[in-house]
Amino acid sequence: MSGRWIAAVALMVGLMFLGGCAAMAKGGEKGGKLVSEGVSLFAFNYTGRYIGDIRVNGMWLGGAGAHSNSGSAAGLLAPRDRSKRHSVKVTWVVADVYDISTNKYQRRPDEPHEAMVELAFPYPEHPSELILHFFPDGHVEAELIQGMANVWKARRIQPPEGYKR
């Protein structure tokens, strides 16, 4: 009898947790309080070097190959108050240099970086992705977009001629 009781309590706790997650992901108004929406993280690397250990407000994204993109990670919340500008703390490590002619990386010392990056404004009504853009001059831009299909449309610089993925 006690095993069934424990299973029932565990099921109820799990359902309550999932209900809270669903409300958080939906966003908007709930009980008079503005609820943040969860967004995925994604990055474009427009440089000729590997960028690793990318983090946004401490959330780990991974790395992005030279002239390529990162994978995707989830867990960050969009700003609650979308009527004012917000920034995120981005940390990353610039590493190996990609040689287009050999299609190989050449080892370089890791160079850690950190910046407060303002999110492009205005924000979409229901953001689903926070995209980082790493530019060759070293600066980083961040934007919220709506709809995961728009990620590839957000790429700003195409890979150079001769680049092999």
For residue 12, tell me if it sits in a domain: no
For residue 1, tell me if it sits in a domain: no
* Both structure tokens of 26: 């939906």
CA 10 to chain centre: 32
For residue 150, tell me if it sits in a domain: yes
Strand, coil or helix: what is 34?
strand
Helix (H) or strand (E) holding 61: strand 59-64
For residue 15, tell me if it sits in a domain: no
Domain that holds residue 76: 36-154
**Range of lowest pLDDT (27-31, 33-37, 115-119, 126-130):** 27-31
CATH code at position 68:
2.60.40
Specify the pLDDT at position 116.
98
For residue 28, tell me if it sits in a domain: no
DSSP state string for 86-142: -EEEEEEEEEEEEETTTTEEE----EEEEEEEEBPSSPPSS--EEEEEE-TTS-EEE
Look at the chain and report how many structural domains it folds into.
1
For residue 24, tell me if it sits in a domain: no
For residue 161, tell me if it sits in a domain: no
Query: How is residue 157 annotated by DSSP?
Result: S
* Both structure tokens of 78: 């969009």
> Model confidence over 148-165: pLDDT tens digits?
767 888 999 999 998 876
> Model confidence over 28-82: pLDDT tens digits?
444 434 457 899 999 999 999 999 999 999 999 999 999 999 999 998 999 988 8
For residue 27, tell me if it sits in a domain: no
- Write down the mean pLDDT value for the chain: 83
The contacts of residue 165 (CB under 8 Å, 6+ apart) are 68, 159
